[in-house]
Amino acid sequence: MLVVDQLCVDAGRTRIVDEVSFEIAAGQRVGLLGASGSGKSLTASAIIGHLPPGITSTGGITINGHDVAGIATPRRHRAARPAMVFQDSATALNPMVTVGAQLSAPARSSKSDVADLLEQVGFREPGCILGSHPLELSGGQRQRVCIALAIACRSPLLVADEPTTALDVVTQARVLDALKAVDGAMLFITHDVAVASQLCDRLIVMERGRIVEQGVTADIVERPTAELTKALVARAHAADPLRALSESLSR
């Protein structure tokens, strides 16, 4: 579904992402991990065709069989436009438009179909949410609306950039449940190994713009080889000693 081949991202003469290559099969969920500044978000931006001004990319990017390298999202074939869930749900949604109206735009469907979308992401009473504006919702509710919006796009690939970072543990679990219900391939960007291990089939670890380790989630978590991966796993254990990573993998 997604093939990234020798992707490089540059800011002028400064290389930020250096020869990154990986693949995501149809229906597979892959976690892209790394500390702040590792290049993971810029990798995602190159994939969705939305790099900041002054930032350029080279290398190959293929989505659903279509070569999209260097092509902005609006100019891509519809089958090669990934859906995106951003970290900041407050800016991702239009504050002046109701949730129902925002979901209806890409879905082009009835009110009941939009309500079904909200049920998919964990809203027990979606009718109460449809007429609400984003600022009337909590951060976790807005994030789930963003996921519903991504589902409504019916894209074969979803890219989620740190969608659980600012959430409390309970809300984070609800958002992860909503993401688990999404069909299709997924690239999940995070710095949290524990969160990624609950959702992803494979993990890719980036440091200073390069991939330092990638493989099956269980192998990466139980037998990390790169020093950065070892540090991320140790940090996850220290942050939540009562929830072993092995338990997350067994769910």
Per residue in 145-157, pLDDT tens? 998 888 888 888 9
pLDDT averaged over the chain?
A: 88
pLDDT at 244: 46
Check pLDDT > 70 for residue 250: no
Check pLDDT > 80 for residue 203: yes
Structure tokens at 29: 């969920």
Domain ranges of the chain: 2-82+156-250, 89-154
pLDDT at 107: 61
Q: Are 94 and 145 in contact (CB under 8 A)?
A: no
For residues 30 and 21, give the distance between their C-alpha atoms in angstroms, rounded to a whole number.
13
Check pLDDT > 60 for residue 5: yes
Check pLDDT > 90 for residue 175: no
Of residues 122 and 62, more confidently modeled: 62
Per residue in 85-123, pLDDT tens? 887 888 889 999 999 999 888 766 677 888 888 888 888
Per cent of the chain over pLDDT 90 is: 50
Check pLDDT > 70 for residue 248: no
Using CB atoms within 10 Å of the CB of residue 31, give its burial: 0 to 12 exposed, 13 to 18 middle, 19+ buried.
buried
DSSP string spanning the chain? -EEEEEEEEEETTEEEEEEEEEEE-TT-EEEEE--TTSSHHHHHHHHHT-PPTTEEEEEEEEETTEE-TT--GGGS-GGG--EEE-S-HHHHS-TTS-HHHHHHHHH---HHHHHHHHHHTT-S-HHHHHT--GGGS-HHHHHHHHHHHHHHTT-SEEEEESTTTTS-HHHHHHHHHHHHT--SEEEEEES-HHHHHHH-SEEEEEETTEEEEEEEHHHHHHS--SHHHHHHHHHHHHH-TTS-HHHHHH-
Check pLDDT > 70 for residue 198: yes
Check pLDDT > 90 for residue 158: yes
pLDDT at 16: 95
Per residue in 236-247, pLDDT tens? 877 664 454 444
pLDDT at 165: 77
Alpha-carbon dihedral sign for residues 219, 224, 225, 229: positive
pLDDT at 242: 41
CATH class, domain 2-82+156-250, is alpha beta
pLDDT at 114: 86
Of residues 34 and 182, more confidently modeled: 34
